[in-house]
């Protein structure tokens, strides 16, 4: 990250020094990006991030050979790294017409979604209820020279009121209904990207704060782990 901008040369260098040729070759990453294009992702900055972020660093070595498949994979502790298409779709939806600076991420997980989004916004505040996941994510993001992220162990249902309201909120686990605290922490004109519903029937929605009301748009069916209340800290 250089002055809020992602330096592609730096990104490619970071990928090269951690290589494992088959996992990180340009051809492998380009195939993934083309697949996302074919599925309708149009934001070139988001696609460039999917190409450059070394996804294999965010999972166990045993699964690293599958890192550039368009599929969700387990990362331990009952959690998953999201499918690249879903990460791209959520990021694109968040950034569509985005004119703000601050984003709250609920559910840091392994940090992959954070890494994709970080160079595209000024500041991310991210919450994770499992301290070990947060520790690992923080370490990986530092490895990649990403420093515009502030971390907090805690309950995602509560948000992070201290730094709100936020221009954008992105949630990477599914509650059965939209948490009221997150709506309260959304700035006027801000947008919330969140999967909602029980496992098997979740809908990804975009909610925009229009001052006196919220507008909600469905972005399609998804499958996420549940957004669990409380912290394990």
Which tens digit of pLDDT belongs to each residue from 27-86?
899 999 999 999 999 999 999 999 999 999 998 888 888 999 999 999 888 888 999 999
Dist. CA 85–CA 106, nearest whole Å: 19
Measured in whole angstroms, the distance separating CA 174 from the mean position of its chain's CA atoms is: 13
The residues with which 217 forms a beta bridge, in sequence order, are 206
Q: How confident is the model at residue 215, as a pLDDT?
A: 96
| List 25, 65, 82, 218, catalytic entry | 82
Q: Which residues of the chain have pLDDT under 50?
A: 1-22
What pTM was computed for the model?
0.87
Helix or strand holding residue 15 (H, E): helix 8-17
Q: How confident is the model at residue 232, as a pLDDT?
A: 65
Dist. CA 67–CA 73, nearest whole Å: 8
Active site residue 218: no
């Amino acid at each position: 990250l250089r002055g809020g901008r992602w330096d592609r040369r730096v990104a490619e260098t970071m990928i090269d020094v951690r290589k494992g040729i088959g996992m990180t070759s340009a051809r492998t990453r380009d195939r993934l990006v083309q697949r996302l294009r074919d599925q309708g992702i149009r934001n070139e900055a988001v696609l460039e991030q999917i190409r450059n972020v070394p996804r294999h660093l965010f999972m166990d070595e045993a699964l690293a050979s599958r890192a550039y498949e368009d599929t969700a994979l387990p990362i331990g502790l009952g959690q998953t790294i999201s499918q690249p298409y879903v990460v791209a779709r959520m990021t694109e939806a968040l950034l569509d017409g985005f004119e703000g600076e601050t984003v709250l991420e609920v559910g840091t997980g392994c940090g992959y979604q954070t890494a994709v989004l970080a160079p595209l916004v000024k500041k991310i505040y991210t919450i994770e209820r499992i301290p070990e996941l947060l520790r690992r994510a923080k370490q990986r993001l530092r490895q990649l020279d990403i420093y515009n992220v502030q971390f907090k162990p805690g309950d995602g249902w509560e948000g992070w009121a201290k730094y709100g309201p936020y221009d954008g909120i992105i949630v990477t686990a599914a509650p059965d209904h939209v948490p009221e605290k997150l709506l309260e922490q959304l700035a006027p004109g801000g947008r919330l990207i969140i999967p909602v519903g029980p496992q098997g029937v979740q809908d990804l929605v975009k909610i925009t704060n229009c001052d006196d009301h919220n507008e909600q748009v469905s972005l399609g069916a998804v499958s996420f782990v549940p957004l669990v209340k409380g912290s394990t800290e």
